[in-house]
Structure 1
Amino acid sequence: MRSLLSAIHFFLPPSPIEAIISSAKENGEAVAASVLKDLANQYPVITDQVQQFQEHFNKIIEDAKDLKRELVDNNIDPTVVHDHLTREAANIIETLRTEFDKPLPDELEERARYRNQMISKALDHVEDAFVFICDQSGHLSEQDARRIFAPVKKAIQDGLFIIGDFVDKNPELIGAIAISAVCFLIPESFILRPILSVFGFGPAGPLNGPLASWIQSRLLGGAVAKSNPFARFQRAAMKVVAKL
């Protein structure tokens, strides 16, 4: 039987891909783990990177679950938070455009430093939006809102740093990493989906338009194109996320 990773590399038609992603709705961690296991087996030289990726995305999921529990315990509807962050996404990207007007550098260390600064700044803006809606609810102070958001912010930041570094060094494996990340994140999409939109991805995959194109180019240096496997997996995955 062809492995999941082999399926990715051989560009299966959309229906099998969507079937894989659909199964992630209930078993996201298991699906992602299977893809990553195939990846490590076929490319032993990147085993440590794959393990690091898996550990950090497990951390994102656990922190997202904790955040959701904190919101519910404080009588804040997670859907209200989700909707507010979604509305703020375009404003956040527009703000970033004024602060990061240069393309990603070619030199890898300089590229990583520039991208990581942008990711950190973007998440600062997401945090501010999160704090605002929590404070407006009257159930959480600004200090407490920042406290409960801090773990998921740090986990997402580290995860995005890892993806950027991995794609820089292994651009041919972007499809496998994309499907793994999406499968990990689908079960906790209530908070993670609007944050993904800040980085240029929405319910139908990579978003269109100048803002989305700009943020995608700053993250991956043009590696995301509609014709490549990354876009295919994003489109399939986000169709499932949109139904959650």
Structure 2
Amino acid sequence: MSDDQTDVLRASVDKFFFCVEKFVVTTGDLVERHPVLFWTLLFYAITSLIPEAWILHSLFGFGPSGPVKGSPAALVQRIFWDATVKKDSWFSTLQCAGMKGTSARQMIGSIAAKL
């Protein structure tokens, strides 16, 4: 590797580390000054990357035919509602969302309106 190539590589690496350092310092300042905002933004970023259908079906067990046998959704239904789920409850909203493929934003808004 020639000296010119080494200098170019070193300058590129220095720029990268400067950007990483600036990101870490800015994030630290945000956490220190506005912790609720930071956690809200982090939650939003993570949930934006995860497909909604995966969250409802694979993680919680709300499938297209209702709660999946042996899933957390089936356990919660058995513990709190037995066979009868109250109309307009948060559980019925999640169950409906899993069956219809409702978006997470619609589902969260619907649950928040019922609280």
Per the normalisation by structure 1, the TM-score is: 0.19
Decide which structure has the larger Cα Rg and report it. 2
Name whichever structure is richer in helix by fraction: 1
